[in-house]
Structure 1
């Protein structure tokens, strides 16, 4: 993959202020894309936009607000002329047993997960179709195929919903030249570090099941893979789930 092969393309990355979102944004920008960063904390987004360069801009947004999603996409079009790449990364995660997770937590996970993903995809689809195609990257999780689902049922249900929506979008929008993929990353993000701190014994056992014996790096491992998937080398790949997890999960 060469620098500049995404030149002229406009990418929206949600949750771009830190972690995996930041890593993806930096990798896309390095390949020439102009990045629009969406998230809750404007100062973090602006810092990443400065790192990206190439005219990157930050947009404060609550992704659980449908009107805010429409407004952000409209502002990106006003600023850059269209959208070619969409990365749905931001999401609130409901963890806990079925008896512990409240209705409100589950609803927030759904609103920020499958619903926000669908809203962003629907807002960007006509823009991508008008430009002759595009790439949508949605984030799922290996939690959807865990050997032990206890404590991860609501999280897995939400992430599995995103996979289903991605498959449908790939099938429905393929004739428009729009490719839709899901990735399931393990990365050294703030969220993962928090999980390790709260569940150290579970985390230690979990990491031993990763064949490559390490956690991915947000930019070098996850961001670079996403940038490659958005490039022309993968123009015939759509509808798939890509496990960026060191070989741990089995999505067969």
Structure 2
């Protein structure tokens, strides 16, 4: 486990699932944590879990599709916790479905909540991280971007692949000021994935057969702890990469 004592992390989409698991792991590593999402009750539950680690925590309701809300979010975190050293862009509305079935509105919402929100937050935290001598940005992508059969996942894959491009660009442009930017592509026991497995049992069984470790990642122990480690000094020479936390399933070559 990395030692993130004295660091401040901001995690979007942290009311449940992978975002919540990452927030808890960052807290376990000693970071103060700000979490955001659209549902106050879910944020309250995350804050309670994070606070159990003995770190400072704050929860802020926010629609990441709203640029003014994102600006206010960064200002509130900086004012209360003193800065931002780690940004985890996890929030995402998912435009799943075959191309002819995905509406323009759903596709737009996917981009607004994913790569556009991440783009805005990355730019907003940049000067704060520069002032603090650097930082780490983690963008959440997905193995759907390199899926063997893209049927039903093309719009979602497009959204997630855009995040990988932003990661590469920011890593190249901001490395000289000590900001590392990474993409993580996880399989975690999120409510969304568990719902998909229930609704698609045959496809779910086939899905498990493609995972060499034959299981889905645990939210805190497998996904969150790995992300926290990537934010530590031990990985200070790693940037611009896509790290698949998926039991060996995806091939990003």
**TM-score using structure 2 length:** 0.97
Q: Deviations over 1:8-48 (max 9, x none)?
A: 11000011111101110011001110000010011211221
For residue 241 of structure 1, what is the aligned residue in structure 2? 242
* Whole-angstrom distance in 2 between the partners of 1:51 and 1:156: 32
Comparing 195-204 with 224-233, greater Cα deviation is found at 195-204
SS at match of 1:99: helix
For residue 205 of structure 2, what is the aligned residue in structure 1? 204
Question: Matches of residues 146-225 of structure 1 in structure 2 within 5 Å?
Answer: 146-225=147-226
Of the candidates 9, 14, 18, which is equivalent to residue 16 of structure 1?
14
SS at match of 2:239: coil
For residue 60 of structure 1, what is the aligned residue in structure 2? 61
For residue 81 of structure 1, what is the aligned residue in structure 2? 82
Alpha-carbon shift at residue 51 of structure 1 (Å): 1.5
Comparing 196-205 with 93-102, greater Cα deviation is found at 196-205
* Whole-angstrom distance in 1 between the partners of 2:142 and 2:104: 21
The count of aligned residue pairs is 250
Comparing 49-58 with 83-92, greater Cα deviation is found at 49-58
* Whole-angstrom distance in 1 between the partners of 2:121 and 2:25: 21
* Whole-angstrom distance in 2 between the partners of 1:147 and 1:157: 15
Structure 1 segments of 4+ aligned residues over 6 angstroms from their partners: none
Alpha-carbon shift at residue 93 of structure 1 (Å): 0.3
SS at match of 1:216: coil
Q: Deviations over 1:38-61 (max 9, x none)?
A: 100112112211221212010000
Q: 1:46, 1:57 within 8 Å by CA — same for their partners in 2?
A: no
* Whole-angstrom distance in 2 between the partners of 1:230 and 1:148: 33
SS at match of 1:187: coil
> Which stretches in structure 1 are left out of the alignment for 5+ residues?
none
* Whole-angstrom distance in 1 between the partners of 2:107 and 2:201: 24
Comparing 28-37 with 199-208, greater Cα deviation is found at 199-208
1:26 aligns with 2:24: yes
Q: State the Cα RMSD in Å.
A: 0.7
Question: Matches of residues 134-145 of structure 1 in structure 2 within 5 Å?
Answer: 134-145=135-146
Q: 1:109, 1:158 within 8 Å by CA — same for their partners in 2?
A: yes
> Which stretches in structure 2 are left out of the alignment for 5+ residues?
none
SS at match of 1:183: strand
For residue 5 of structure 2, what is the aligned residue in structure 1? 7
Q: Deviations over 1:106-144 (max 9, x none)?
A: 000010011001011010011001110000000000000
* Whole-angstrom distance in 2 between the partners of 1:125 and 1:165: 14
SS at match of 1:182: strand
* Whole-angstrom distance in 2 between the partners of 1:79 and 1:123: 16
Comparing 232-241 with 50-59, greater Cα deviation is found at 50-59
